[in-house]
A and B are shown apart, each in its own frame.
Chain A
């Protein structure tokens, strides 16, 4: 292989690297030693590193404290040991017994003082995770008697104060609440000894906040039950609520359980030496959120900024408390939050993240996890009752939990999917079974209301995971479910999973992996043919076969766009004259032209791009003719690619990109025409399925993305002009500065043409954004609360909301499931686009929802309810 050839530049690189290693300064060395603490045996290493730090301490305090800061915020599983290390640095060095009287503070104190500056910087930037992890460190140091109890209480109170702020956003309150809660979990024992009331006040404040945010929970619970407002779910837990439950339980035993939840390696160390005072944490104020005022607002005058992560955070449970940590037990919460932090922090390197996750047990108290199979018996710790969890199942539950957070995961889904792949690669024999069990649990929950968006991500994960592991899945066990209604979520999942697998591989490859029953035509899982194009004018029997052939030949011969247009014009006349009966000539021409163009571009994505780029003028001309023209174009695409839904999404995306159609056209088309492949026809009751959702999402994201880009452009241009103006002023303001000052105001150069254009673009794009969102809202309303006279009204839209109907779901037909799924996508629309909907809530609400005022129709009430939670009218 050519990989090993010693290229010049490679050698040069290596030299560079070695030189860097060689020149590592003492400061860098000490920093590295701190960061790498515990790579072999942490307890043994602590005294050694402490000695090393002492030896090089002179002038190196900033480097040392930086080492601590990186260690604490990037390797939180080491925090108890860092606390231990720092505690040791408060002791006098050997032979230095007398120096304490000299008045110079201990090395430990100097480091802590410098560390505090770093904490303050994290807090000023509102880097919440780093802030929270520093609080963990302070809490351990409080337990180690290094930090004063009262100052620790004051610190936690500053974060609790955030919960009381007027109009505090949920994201901010949640994060501040977790800072206080987790600090209390670690240091509660000592804190409560100092002040019972202070501790109880903290817990009560969190409780009050959690209760006030109750109604927003219903929008993001991973299990949807439209008939009930469930306060708690059987198989999912909200993060802040879990923290609260843990605090209450801990408090009831005066935090006795903390010691079984967090390692406290420092616990047996003596008090600080005589003359050393405990460290008083300075008081802090959590700074307010920065709202960037760029003076740009949507046409409603409302601020058009997008704020995310404003929802309660639900994590799904897949296993029992005996198998994986219970999130509402102190020990369970500690393990889960530590693992979640690792998943977040190491997003930059999924391979290292996987390794650290599998190594995590070494940082926990003995007996937390079951020993690895094959570990020598005498080295195995006694299993601890209530713990002794299974590491691999725990990791799966944590990573999948993070993947399924609604409305969206912190990172892209593909990160969590790739992370699971890496975990599997490191330990296939132990992780494989945990993956299988997770899939089975999730599949089972499909029948019990698993949220539609969670189901979609589940299918996505399943397909990508299988594509990394030879598509080996035991489909046989799901064969009995083929007798369920075709629109049952389990069957929908199987269909989608196979479709996604085929997209990543190819038809025959996936067919090979499926048992007979799934391949059968009636199963509607595996399409009969590979997903190819379907040029309806190919058939000589088609009345427009000849017309299509003539257009196709022009395209093939790379005729000029104007010649094609001229030919289409003449075809119009011919068809108009020869067709019998009522033929919409314009519609026929559009369909013939678009399908022919797609046909010459059908060989690949690039061929398609080349084809439409060459004939953009033709497409533009076909698209003039209002909504009808655009609808015809989109319909032609969906007919041509009816066997390949991936291509429908791709073509729609590029038609929007080339501005042949607008996002609103695609949104409207999806509701009126839908792809309907799963439903079989577009005549039945209107409904939105997962594929329709993909198209809606593609269009809405496009509309939102354009606004974002336009906003950035305006901001950049404004800044540029402000700078230019400032420079001009600075250089011009010399002699008669007083007079000039007033004059320059008048003479101020007008906005540049570029800025004027950019502002105009921003204005028209926000208005398009609003139209697209409004069209989607109207579409959902038409599906879910239609007038009974509506031709495509789904009679079950109201019914599926009732508790009685839900308990009877085993007998539901396709139409009930379609209605239920549409409700699910409406709920997802509300929460996923809530930051955008909020900006337009007044206008959209007035236009679309006014008709429901005073209505007692359960469907209308449900629509209003979900809407008002999403737009923040109801907290």
Chain B
């Protein structure tokens, strides 16, 4: 159903500029993706605020929900730099977010969502020269929610800033999985060892690809228009 108008859940021309898979493969991945890149966040917006809004697109009754949120951090200072990844359990939830949430406000800023190929460790760091996002390198305007252009944060936000600055001081570039599919707990021992070895599934995948991920993934913003 979209002969008359364009559906809002179509992939845009956002892409991970450093992903090393061809266009077709990328499109296939996006057609199944349950991960979103979320941009234009305030530096002060917390994961709980993000959770509160994005959970509105969750479908727990279909086995869905917010799996995890990965806050984009300044590479050097380890403070939020205005983007994040939200991962759901299902693709349908990611599409719902594109239709219903992208382009609405969170923390009084209009946020933008894009389907993403999927988070890999290392991608949570800004790719700009100064450590933050590339777009903030070139920004000419004054934006109090993204660090102003100096240290002139609004008074009311000073307290929030202090908390924010401390929050991710311990970030080590390894993200939690968020919990996988339900598994039989009282399974026979042989099987259990096998499962343990693989679980949580995401981590297994990440370690294997970790080497490449670091080379592949740089700023998700570098190629947006």
A interface, CB within 8 angstroms of B = 1-5, 7, 9-10, 13, 35, 70, 74-75, 345-352, 412-415, 417-418, 421, 460, 464, 467-468, 470, 500, 503-506, 508-509, 512, 603-607, 609-610, 613, 646-647, 650, 653-654, 657-659, 698, 701-702, 704-706, 708-710, 757, 760-761, 764-765
Contacts and interface: CB of A to CB of B under 8 A. Distances in A.
Interface string B185-225: 10100010000000010000000000000000000000111
Given A349-B6, A604-B71, A659-B183, A647 B105 contact: no
A350 B100 CA distance: 7
Contacts of A650: 48, 51
B178 A657 contact: yes
Given A350-B99, A467-B105, A1 B51 contact: no
Contacts of A659: 182-183, 185
Contacts of A658: 179
B177 interface: yes
A351 B99 CA distance: 10
B223 A710 contact: no
Contact of A1 (B4, B52, B60, B139): B139
A658 B178 CA distance: 8
Contacts of A468: 104-105
Given A505-B107, A761-B182, A761-B184, A609 B225 contact: no
A591 to B, nearest CB: 23
A705 B179 contact: no
Contacts of B59: 412, 705
B96 to A, nearest CB: 6
A349 B4 CA distance: 10
Given A348-B2, A349-B7, A418 B225 contact: no
Contacts of B179: 609, 654, 657-658
A646 B48 contact: yes
Given A605-B47, A609-B178, 15 more contacts: A1-B138, A2-B224, A10-B225, A348-B5, A414-B96, A415-B99, A418-B104, A464-B56, A500-B52, A505-B107, A604-B71, A610-B175, A613-B177, A646-B51, A647-B48
A750 B9 CA distance: 43
Nearest to A654: B179
Contact of A705 (B64, B70, B183): B64
Given A10-B225, A470-B108, A351 B103 contact: yes
Contacts of B108: 467, 470, 505
B176 A613 contact: yes
B138 A70 contact: no
A34 to B, nearest CB: 11
Contacts of A460: 56
Interface string B1-16: 1111111110001010
B62 interface: yes
A7 B221 CA distance: 13
B24 interface: no
Indicate the size class of the contact surface on chain B: 35 or more
Interface in B49-65: 49, 51-53, 56-57, 59-65
A460 B134 CA distance: 35
Contacts of A418: 100-101, 104
B138 to A, nearest CB: 5
Interface string B132-162: 0011001111000000000000001001100
A562 to B, nearest CB: 15
Nearest to A66: B3
B167 interface: yes
B99 A705 contact: no
B91 interface: no
Nearest to A760: B184
B100 A415 contact: yes
B106 A350 contact: no
A646 B191 CA distance: 37
B46 interface: yes
Nearest to B163: A603
Interface in B13-66: 13, 15, 46-49, 51-53, 56-57, 59-65
Contacts of B187: 757
Query: Chain A binding site: helix, strand, loop or mixed by DSSP?
Result: helix
Nearest to B223: A7
Contacts of A505: 49, 107-108
B72 to A, nearest CB: 12
A4 B176 CA distance: 36
A607 to B, nearest CB: 8
B48 A414 contact: no
22 contacts: A10-B225, A74-B1, A348-B9, A348-B99, A349-B2, A349-B7, A349-B8, A350-B8, A412-B59, A417-B56, A421-B104, A460-B56, A467-B106, A503-B52, A603-B167, A605-B68, A605-B69, A609-B176, A610-B175, A650-B51, A708-B62, A709-B63
A708 B174 CA distance: 31
Nearest to B139: A1
Nearest to A74: B4
A503 B182 contact: no
Contacts of B64: 705
Contacts of B8: 348-351
B169 to A, nearest CB: 9
Contact of A701 (B1, B7, B61, B107): B61
Nearest to B49: A504
Contacts of B2: 348-349
A708 B63 contact: yes
A354 to B, nearest CB: 11
Contact of A610 (B53, B160, B176, B182): B176
Contacts of B62: 705, 708-709
A345 B2 CA distance: 9
Interface string B96-140: 100111011111100000000000000000000000001100111
Which of A347, A348, A464 is the most central at the interface, judged by chain B CB atoms within 10 Å of its CB?
A348
Contacts of B134: 2
A346 B53 CA distance: 22
Given A505-B107, A657-B178, A346 B5 contact: yes
A70 B104 contact: no
Contacts of B141: 1
A1 B101 CA distance: 24
A587 B96 CA distance: 42
Contact of A3 (B6, B65, B178, B225): B225
A606 B99 contact: no
A412 B175 CA distance: 29
Nearest to B46: A604
Which of B6, B70, B104, B135 is the most central at the interface, judged by chain A CB atoms within 10 Å of its CB?
B104
A509 B156 contact: yes
Nearest to A713: B181
Given A503-B52, A504-B107, A605-B48, A349 B5 contact: yes
A10 B101 contact: no
B52 A646 contact: yes
Contacts of B1: 74, 345, 348
A171 B16 CA distance: 45
A710 B57 CA distance: 22
Contacts of A348: 1-2, 5, 7-9, 99
Nearest to B84: A606
Contacts of B107: 504-505
Nearest to B174: A610
A13 B52 contact: no
A508 B107 CA distance: 13
A830 to B, nearest CB: 16
Contacts of B51: 605, 646, 650
A504 B53 contact: yes
Nearest to A601: B176
Given A352-B5, A650-B51, A698-B60, A504 B99 contact: no
A603 B57 CA distance: 24
A70 B4 contact: yes
A659 B1 CA distance: 39
Given A468-B104, A503-B48, A613-B177, A706 B4 contact: no
